[in-house]
A and B are shown apart, each in its own frame.
Chain A
Amino acid sequence: MGEGVGSCIPAIEARSVVKSFPGGAVALDHVSIDIRPNEFFTLLGPSGCGKTTLLRLIAGFEQPTAGEIYLDGERIEHLPPFRRPINTVFQSYALFPHMTVGQNIAFGLEMQGIAKAEIARRVAEMLALVKLEGFEGRKADQMSGGQQQRVALARALANKPKVLLLDEPLSALDLKLRKEMQFELKRLQTETGITFVFVTHDQEEALTMSDRIAVMSAGRVLQVGAPRDIYENPEHRFVADFIGETDFLDAMVEASDDAGVRYRLSSGAFIDGPPQDFNAGASVALSTRPERLHLGDAAGDGLAGTIDAVVYFGTDTTFHVALDGGAGSIRVREQNIAGKPFPFDRGDRVTIQMPRAAVRAFRDFKG
C-alpha cells in the first residue's frame, strides 16, 4: 500500500470529455488524459485546438458537455471553481488593480479564513519564493510584465493548490524574460512539488520545461509523451509538423519488410527508412528533420538537388534544396564552424545524405 498505490491515482484525470458551445462549435472531442502527481504537464497545440478550454474545464470556469473530470480520484466537474483546490495563473495575469501586491497574494488566503498573522507570514513566504521581497505595497500597474507574472504566480501558489494551471503565462513577455521565467517556473514546480498543468502554443517552451506533453489539434489529444518521445517518435503527421522543423515529401511504398521500408518519390528516386507497418503500394508522406540531414557534393551518394536558398542563423545555416524531378523541397541544416565557411552556395548542385533513422513516414492524410 501507501506510496506505490497512491501514485497510481492521477492528479487530474479527464475521461472522454466533450465540450461544445452553443452554435455547435466543438472545442473538445472526447478528450481523455491522465496527469500524474507532481508532474509538469503541458497542453501543446495551435490556437483553437481546445487546450485553453480543457484548462478552463479543469479550473471550473466552464462545465463539460459530457465526460468526467477527476482530481485525486474524485469527480470535480460539478464543483464551482471556488470549491476546487486548484489555482490558475492567467494569461493576462488578472491581478486585482485596486489592491497592492500583498493584498493580491493574501486574497486567496483570506477566502480560506486563515488568521491574519498566518496570512502575513504566508504572503512574505510567497514573495520570497518568487523573489519579490519588498514589493508588497506596490500596485500591479507599477510593476513590469515579468514582475506582474511573478505576483500572479505567488497569488496562485499561496493557497497551496493541489494543481496549478498556467494559461500561456509567458506569452506576453519578451524573449529574454521568457527564458528566465521558463527556468523559474521549473524551479518553482520542483521546489513546491505541485502538479503544474501548462498551456502553450510554443513547442520549444513545451519541450524544454515539461515532464510530459499532450499535443492537441482540433479538439483532440493526438499524442501524450515525454518531450523526447514526442520529438523523435511523432505518431501523427500533425505532431511531426507542429514540433520542430519538418519537411514532407509525397511518396509511395515500394517495398516493406522487417528490415525496413523502401519509398519511391514522384521523381522515381528511392529513399530507405526504418521498418514501419506499411503495405507495398501505399501512398505516404515522408518526413525529414533538417538537422538530421547532411549535404554532400554533386558526385556524392544520396538524393540529388539544387540549392534554392541559404539562410544564415548564427549557430547554423539552413539550405533549402529543390529535389530533382520536382519531387519536392527539403531543408538541410548544417552547423557553422568558426573560420570555416560552408563550401555550398545558392545554385550549387548537391546531394542530400539521409540516414535511415532520419526518415519517418505517415499515412497520407492530414492531421
Chain B
Amino acid sequence: MIEYFRRTPAARRTALVSPAVGAILLFMVLPLGLMLIYSFLQRATYGGVIWTLSFQSYIQFLFEHDLDDSLIFNSAYLQIYARSFILAGITTVLCVIIGFPTALYLVQQSERRRNILMFLVTIPFWTNLLVRTYAWILLLRREGLVDYGLQAVGITDAPLGLLYTDVANLIGLVYSFLPFMVLPIYSSLEKLDFRLVEAAYDLGANRITALRRIVIPLAMPGIAAGCILVLVPCLGAYVTPELLGGGKALMIGNLIQQQFGASQNWPFGAALSFALLAIVLIALIAYSLRFGRGALTEGR
C-alpha cells in the first residue's frame, strides 16, 4: 500500500491533498450548500424551515407586499447593502492610506527592528476582536478617553459623543482590518528591489515621482490583495457595527444575524447571505479578468 503511494505521483498527490479537500467539503461546501437550499424554502414561524420550494426570500429582498397583496419595489434592503459597501469601501481606502506608508516604513528598517515592528503589527491577532472592540467603546463613549483627550489639548470644547455613529463604526472597522492591509503590502514591498528606486532618482525622478512611477506600481499586487482582504470581510462585518455602531446603523452582517435571530426568518437570512456572496464573486471575477489570470492567487 505504502509502496503504491511512493511509486505513483498522482496517487501521492491525491493522498496529500485529500485532508484539505475533505475539510473544505465538510466545513465550507456542506454548510454553504445547506444555506443555499434553505434560501429556497419557506420560513417556519418560530425559526427553522418548512421543506417547500419558495422564491419568497429573494422576492422579499427587492419587493414588499402592498395592502392589496401586489408587489411593490422596496429598496430598504438594497440601501443596507449600499451603505455596507460604502462603509467597507471607505474603510478599505483609509486602510490603504494608513497601511501603505506603514508598510513602506517597515521594510526600510533594519532586520532586527523590522521583526519587532512586524510582531507589534500582528499583536492584535493575539486577543479576541470582541474584547478589543469593547475597549474602543471605553475610548469613544461620551466623555471617554478620546473626548477627554481632545478637550484637554483644546481641539474640541464639548464631548463629541462618537460612540454609536458611523464615525465610530469606521474607526472600529479600520482598526480591526488594518493589519490585513499592512501585511500583504509589506510582503510585496519586501520583494521590491530598492536599487530600482535609486535608478529612478538617478534618471531624474524626485521622491514623489519615484513613489508614483516605481514603488506603487510594483507594490500593486500587495495593495490589491490587501484591498480584497479588507473589503470582503468588511462587507460582512458584524461585531464592530453591532457594538460601535450600536446596531442602529445596520450593515449586512447585522441584517443577516437579525434574520437568524430576532426575526426568525432563516430562508431570508440565507438569501441575504447568498446575495452578498454573489456580489463579491462577481467583483472578484471582474478583478481577475481585468488584471489577468492568476491575479488573485499569484498576486500579479
Contact = CB atoms under 8 A, between A and B. Distances in A.
Q: Do A and B come from one complex?
A: yes
B193 A108 contact: no
B249 interface: no
A96 interface: yes
Interface string A72-91: 00000000111000111010
Contact of A61 (B193, B198, B203): B198
A292 B272 CA distance: 91
B199 A96 contact: yes
A125 to B, nearest CB: 17
A94 B204 contact: no
Contacts of B248: none
B196 A111 contact: no
Interface range on chain A (Cβ under 8 Å from partner): 20 to 34
Nearest to B199: A94
B117 to A, nearest CB: 20
Contact of B193 (A59, A80, A88, A92): A92
B205 A94 contact: no
Contacts of A155: 203
A2 interface: no
A94 B206 contact: no
A87 B195 contact: no
A301 to B, nearest CB: 58
Interface in B53-109: none
Nearest to A56: B198
Interface residues of B, number: 17
A109 to B, nearest CB: 9
Contact of A94 (B198, B213, B217, B218): B198
B258 interface: no
Contacts of A6: none
Given A81-B202, A82-B204, A92 B195 contact: yes
Contacts of A86: 202
Given A98-B217, A107-B213, A111-B209, A82 B201 contact: yes
A82 B202 contact: yes
A90 B199 CA distance: 8
A144 to B, nearest CB: 19
Nearest to B206: A82
Given A82-B206, A107-B213, A111-B209, A94 B201 contact: no
Contacts of B203: 82, 87, 107-108, 111, 155-156, 159
Nearest to A107: B203
Interface in A105-120: 107-108, 111-112
A97 interface: yes
A80 B208 CA distance: 14
A90 B203 CA distance: 12
Of B196, B204, B214, chain A has the most CB atoms within 10 Å of the CB of: B204
A107 B214 CA distance: 11
A61 B195 CA distance: 10
Given A107-B200, A107-B213, A98 B218 contact: yes
Nearest to A106: B203
Interface in B210-224: 213-214, 217-218
Interface in A49-66: 59-61
Contacts, number: 58
Of A87, A96, A112, chain B has the most CB atoms within 10 Å of the CB of: A96
Given A96-B214, A97-B218, A80 B195 contact: no
A232 to B, nearest CB: 37
Contacts of B201: 60-61, 80-82
Contacts of B205: 82, 107, 111
Contacts of A98: 217-218
B202 A111 contact: no
Nearest to B201: A81
A90 B198 CA distance: 10
A59 B202 contact: yes
Contacts of B217: 98
Contacts of A95: 199
Nearest to B194: A94
A138 B202 CA distance: 22
A90 B194 CA distance: 12
Nearest to B214: A96
Of B195, B202, B213, B218, chain A has the most CB atoms within 10 Å of the CB of: B202
Contacts of B200: 96, 107
A184 B195 CA distance: 25
A81 B195 CA distance: 13
Contacts of B214: 96
A66 B217 CA distance: 37
Contacts of A97: 196, 218
A94 B196 contact: yes
Contacts of A94: 193, 195-196, 198-199
Nearest to B192: A97
Contact of A88 (B202, B209, B213): B202
B218 A108 contact: no
B199 A112 contact: no
B155 to A, nearest CB: 37
B232 to A, nearest CB: 26
Contacts of A112: 204
Given A94-B193, A96-B214, A97-B218, A88 B199 contact: yes
8 smallest A-B Cβ distances: which pairs? A111-B204, A108-B203, A94-B199, A81-B201, A94-B195, A88-B202, A82-B204, A98-B217
21 contacts: A60-B202, A61-B201, A80-B201, A81-B198, A81-B201, A81-B202, A82-B201, A82-B206, A87-B202, A90-B199, A92-B193, A94-B193, A94-B196, A96-B196, A96-B199, A96-B200, A97-B196, A98-B218, A155-B203, A156-B203, A159-B203
Interface of A: 59-61, 80-82, 86-88, 90, 92, 94-98, 107-108, 111-112, 155-156, 159
Given A90-B199, A94-B198, A108-B203, 19 more contacts: A59-B202, A60-B202, A80-B206, A81-B202, A82-B204, A82-B206, A86-B202, A90-B195, A90-B198, A92-B195, A94-B196, A96-B199, A96-B200, A97-B196, A98-B218, A111-B203, A111-B205, A156-B203, A159-B203
